[in-house]
A and B are shown apart, each in its own frame.
Chain A
């Protein structure tokens, strides 16, 4: 006997993501989901982003880390509320599912926030597949990772609204071309907002901050 099913495997996650989206709309909160491979520089970018914007916006942050609290310790120093989603001491989930975000949001006082930032687990594969109710997805890629990465992880770059090319200060030391990075990202997603920055030196950082400002204002006002 054949039984017709036709049910989305990620349907449950999708439904929770929609609930989160409704909640954030009601609370007028802009949420973005920052993803990258491990070591691309998410945490430093976020430390500097929060420091630059915390007087303009009330910011909260949710940090996903496989097994340490190192990132949340660094981000807590910025003085904004920070919720750590810890998985397992010996390595756990490769992504943050909507259910984890829903639980973490309960630990933040949403009536007092304008922006929620989610720092996803370092991985260019799985996080691309899981909606978490965010307004924007941002993918960070750093120059040492190589210009072929957008072509190797097309889904991540296709679903993202913005992409940051980080560590551009290293270009003279590396055998890579910044232009090629940008070209390859645009091949996958011509509409993506692209920022070439160095979180370390601050080069290009203002354009990225302006994008966050503009996106947040569009949602909360």
Chain B
């Protein structure tokens, strides 16, 4: 619901528009399943300016940096151990994202 609210807040107020595309960024380490989010967006945009809009979800890999040796790694599994030096002290550098990146609108139609 908050996604739709954010989209609506960013629509130009002057004229009726139709939203063609909504681009979202979703990190791997979030409680969000892209397919479910897509389905959910299709349902809640019904009868709004965003009905039928393409929902584009870019998944952001879970990247960590080892605080001991500095190695940057992408984690495919949630095991937080540095593959280079085995240190468990890892900082998450990406993968917690959940935001609306951009929207594409078509003017002149409602």
From A125, A189, A191, B31 is in contact (CB under 8 Å) with A125
Cβ–Cβ contact B81 & A1, under 8 A: no
From B79, B100, B103, B106, A9 is in contact (CB under 8 Å) with B100
Cβ–Cβ contact B105 & A9, under 8 A: no
Chain A 125-142, CB-CB to B under 8 Å as 1, else 0, gives 110110000000000000
A151–B78 Cα distance when bound, in Å, is 7
Chain A 154-168, CB-CB to B under 8 Å as 1, else 0, gives 110010000000000
Cβ–Cβ contact A12 & B78, under 8 A: no
Name B90's closest neighbour in chain A (CB-CB). A190
Interfacial residues of chain A within 167-221, with CB under 8 A of chain B in the complex: 186-191
B contact residues, range = 20 to 34
Cβ–Cβ contact B102 & A9, under 8 A: no
A125–B36 Cα distance when bound, in Å, is 14
From B79, B92, B101, A187 is in contact (CB under 8 Å) with B79
B60 located at the interface, meaning its Cβ lies under 8 Å from any Cβ of chain A in the complex: no
A96 to chain B, nearest CB (A): 14
Cβ–Cβ contact A1 & B79, under 8 A: no
Interfacial residues of chain B within 14-56, with CB under 8 A of chain A in the complex: 24, 29-32
A10 to chain B, nearest CB (A): 6
Interfacial residues of chain B within 63-110, with CB under 8 A of chain A in the complex: 77-81, 88-89, 92, 98-107
A2–B29 Cα distance when bound, in Å, is 28
Cβ–Cβ contact A154 & B2, under 8 A: no
Cβ–Cβ contact B78 & A2, under 8 A: no
A3 located at the interface, meaning its Cβ lies under 8 Å from any Cβ of chain B in the complex: yes
A193–B89 Cα distance when bound, in Å, is 15
Contact flag A187-B107 (CB < 8 Å), given A6-B99, A8-B98, A154-B29: no
Enumerate chain A residues within 8 angstroms of B24, measured Cβ to Cβ.
9
A148–B20 Cα distance when bound, in Å, is 42
Which 3 A-B residue pairs are closest in the complex by CB-CB distance? A190-B88, A154-B78, A129-B31
List 26 A-B residue pairs with CB atoms under 8 Å apart, sorted by A's residue number.
A1-B107, A2-B102, A3-B10, A3-B11, A3-B103, A4-B101, A5-B99, A5-B102, A6-B99, A6-B102, A7-B99, A9-B2, A9-B3, A10-B98, A12-B2, A125-B31, A129-B98, A154-B29, A158-B80, A158-B92, A187-B80, A188-B78, A190-B80, A190-B81, A190-B88, A190-B89
